[in-house]
Amino acid sequence: MGLFKKSSATTSTVTMIPAAKPLIGDDERKAVDRVLRSGMLAQGPEVKAFEEEFSHHVEGRHCIAVNSGTSALHLGFLAAGIKAGDEVIVPSFSFAATANSVALAGGTPIFADIDPKTFNMDPAHVESLITPRTKAIMPVHLYGHIAAMDRFEEICKKHNLLLIEDSAQAHLATLNGRPTGAWGTVASFSFYPTKNMTAGEGGMVTTDSTDIARMIRLLRNQGQEVIYQNEVVGFNNRMTDIHAAIGRVQLRKLPGWTATRQKNAAYLTEHLKGVVTPYVAPNTTHAFHQYTIRIEGEDAAKRDRFMALIRERGVGCGVYYPTPIHRLPTFKLDLDLPETEKVIKECVSIPVHPSLSKHDLEKIVTVVNDVAAGL
């Protein structure tokens, strides 16, 4: 008890280690300045170069840059032919955009439970949800841990379904050496500021289908390949050259940052006690978008107390995500997803980002271990 009294007495002077921190440097500023000086701000040569450079990270697939990860998912579903009456199996334990994009395309999201070890969709449960209306399966590589893509690939082949990836959180994560974005017929990435790399805002669709790539290019730009010759009803979901210029710089830094995230995660896993540390499945590389621990006991109040106490001592944290998507007002479904419901009460993400110092890491360990021991 004395421990916590002491910590609250120091609250006013405590500096907070943020849960996430976008890293923007002089290179990004120079790149933006270069575009601003060129006077060509809208989608142009920077976007094209960004797409080509991103393609090297997804086994040379077609890459189409758009204005957000949500647009990437939405256009991906439309171009893949998802329409009213089609069911797409997704996890409920994800960000709302995962399911919203299915609904925006006219389809119906069907919510599957997760494997609590990886936080990702459980292939066995997914298979049990397949109906004649199922058109696609979309795993999310949550927190940067690649989903069981080899299993999902098998299931999709067996049932003749499309495999689509929500890779918003998992740039450069791999399974058996194959990266996210190179498994599904379509995959989408996000460049929101807290992601492992940013473009300010933005997204990328990757696909191995020339036809789908062409359709996404049309849909993002008012349905035109040739100006004023609108072929389909499209959107303005273009990425600007300003955003692409930031993204190109960040993409060059991404492998180094990912290695630092992995090193930080390894340190935390070695030293944390009294909490469940993240599992890394065999033959995978984890991109550690989040370092998510669990406070066992299926007791959200206990987990919230843990969070309040570590914040009080200067360790930022967050719950991603406090409500499963199927229970949000948008879907309001009464489903039985026991692992999702359990994890939602236990999970908390603590800092793992590449700007943590050795001192920050030591402090995180001390604070988490002290608080966990006193819960």
Ligand X SMILES: Cc1ncc(COP(=O)(O)O)c(C=O)c1O
The contacts of residue 359 (CB under 8 Å, 6+ apart) are none
- Is residue 70 part of the contact set for ligand X (CB under 6 A)? yes
Give kind and range of the element (H or E) at residue 97. Answer: helix 97-104
Q: Based on CB atoms, which residue is closest to ligand X, 76 or 314?
A: 76
Neighbours of 256 (CB within 10 A): 10
Select from 141, 144, 98 the least CA-distant residue to 289. Answer: 144
Site string for ligand X, 132-161 (x = CB under 6 A): --------x---------------------
Question: Which of positions 188-207 make contact with ligand X (CB under 6 A)?
Answer: 190, 192, 203
Length of the chain: 375
Are 103 and 275 in contact by the 8 Å Cβ rule? The answer is: no
The answer to the question of residue 234 lying near ligand X (CB under 6 A) is no
First to last CA, the chain: 10
81-89, 92-100, 210-218, 323-331 -> range binding ligand X (CB under 6 A): 92-100
Assess 360 for contact with ligand X (CB under 6 A): no
By CB under 6 A, tell whether 97 contacts ligand X: yes
CB atoms within 10 A of CB 73: 32
**CA separation for the pair 198, 67 (Å, rounded):** 12
Q: Which stretch binds ligand X (CB under 6 A): 12-20, 66-74, 238-246, 307-315?
A: 66-74
Using the contact rule CB under 6 A, the part of the chain among 129-137, 166-174, 239-247, 366-374 near ligand X is 166-174
Cross-strand bridge partners of residue 121: 114
- Binding residues for ligand X, rule CB under 6 A, total 14
DSSP state of 278: P
Residue 105 CA to residue 194 CA, distance in Å, equals: 26
Kindly state the smallest distance separating residue 194's Cβ from ligand X, in Å: 8
Asked if 98 interacts with ligand X (CB under 6 A), we say yes
CA neighbours closer than 13 Å in the CB half-sphere of residue 54: 35
Q: Which residue is nearest to ligand X (CB)?
A: 69
Q: Does 94 bind ligand X (CB under 6 A)?
A: yes
Out of 102, 121, 164, 168, the residue judged to bind ligand X by CB under 6 A:
168
Chain residues in the site for ligand X (CB under 6 A): 68-70, 94-95, 97-98, 140, 166, 168-169, 190, 192, 203
